[in-house]
Structure formats: C-alpha cells, structure tokens
Amino acid sequence: MTSRPHAEAILQWARKAQAIARNGLAFTHDPFDRERYGQLRALVAQR
C-alpha cells in the first residue's frame, strides 16, 4: 500500500520530467537530443 505523500511526490516528479521532455522536444534542433527527449516522454507516460 502506497502512502499518499509518497504517491503525490511520484506524481510531482513525473509531471516535472514530462515538462522537461516537452520543452526539450519543442526547442531542440539536434536529432540525438530529440530522440532522448522522446524516450524520456515515453518513459514518464508508462504506468
């Protein structure tokens, strides 16, 4: 059983990681960075 503060901390972490990936994909011009940000976005989207 997960405690509520722990679950909220994980959710906050996931939202921050998602924002980093979204901003990276929006502003990078490097194909390698685009791939890495895409991988981060996919990782955060997993359940």
**The pLDDT of residue 1:** 55
Measured distance CA(5)–CA(24) in Å, rounded: 29
Residue 9 lies in a domain: no
**Terminal CA-to-CA distance of the chain, rounded, Å?**
16
Residue 31 lies in a domain: yes
Residue 7 lies in a domain: no
Structure tokens at 16: 């921050």
Residue 28 lies in a domain: yes
Its domain, for residue 29, covers 16-47
Q: What pTM, to 2 d.p., does this model score?
A: 0.81
pLDDT in tens, the chain (47 residues): 558 889 999 999 999 999 999 999 999 999 999 999 999 999 999 86
Question: What total of structural domains would you count in the chain?
Answer: 1
Residue 45 lies in a domain: yes
In a 10 Å sphere around its CB, with 0-12 CB exposed, 13-18 middle and 19+ buried, how is residue 21 labelled?
A: buried
* Phi and psi angles of residue 30, each rounded to the nearest 5 degrees, phi first: -85, 125
Structure tokens at 35: 């791939």
Residue 47 lies in a domain: yes
